[in-house]
């Protein structure tokens, strides 16, 4: 049972970051902020995409740490390893795919951001509230 809870905590964090990013991508494409799918975008739009991915990936680390019954750090490390492997595979698959899959700096930034965003989410999840805000 603990294995399923642990896997669930890691997958919840992974899907949180991925699904939120895809939802915002779809919204920005459908509202015309982004060009149609599989069309090149200007660098400022890629910066926007990176910005919300950083936030959502941090939130994924937060979710994993909060759901993990025991050892939240170990669960966030597992999330980080899984996220890093998936990000590297995605970047490798799209490295020469064309400008519609993002500039190389964006792909490199995605890989570099996996570890710090997971750590930020973990640190936010385990922080203690000041005494005045704790429930007694």
User: What value does the mean pLDDT take over residues 25-52?
Assistant: 96
As given in the structure block, the two tokens for residue 48 are 């926007």
0.85 exceeded by pTM: yes
Please determine, for residue 62, whether its predicted confidence score (pLDDT) is greater than 70: yes
Q: At residue 22, what are phi and psi to the nearest 5 degrees?
A: -65, -35
Burial class (CB in 10 A: 0-12, 13-18, 19+), 109: middle
Residues 42, 102: Cα–Cα separation, whole Å: 9
Radius of gyration of the chain (CA): 17
- What's the pLDDT score for residue 134? 46
User: What value does the mean pLDDT take over residues 83-96?
Assistant: 94
Q: How confident is the model at residue 129 (pLDDT cuts 50, 70, 90)?
A: low
Cα separation values, 14 from 24, 62, 130, Å? 16, 11, 29
């Amino acid at each position: 049972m603990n294995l399923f809870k642990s896997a669930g905590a890691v997958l919840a964090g992974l899907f949180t970051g991925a699904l939120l990013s895809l939802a915002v991508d779809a919204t920005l494409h459908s509202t015309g902020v982004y060009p149609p799918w599989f069309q090149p975008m200007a660098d400022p739009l890629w910066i926007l995409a990176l910005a919300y991915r950083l936030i959502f990936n941090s939130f994924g680390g937060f979710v994993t740490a909060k759901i993990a019954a025991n050892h939240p750090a170990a669960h966030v490390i597992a999330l980080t390893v899984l996220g890093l492997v998936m990000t590297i595979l995605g970047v490798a698959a799209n490295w020469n795919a064309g400008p519609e899959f993002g500039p190389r700096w964006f792909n490199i930034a995605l890989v570099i951001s996996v570890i710090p965003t997971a750590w930020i989410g973990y640190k936010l999840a385990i922080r203690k509230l000041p005494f005045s805000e704790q429930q007694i």
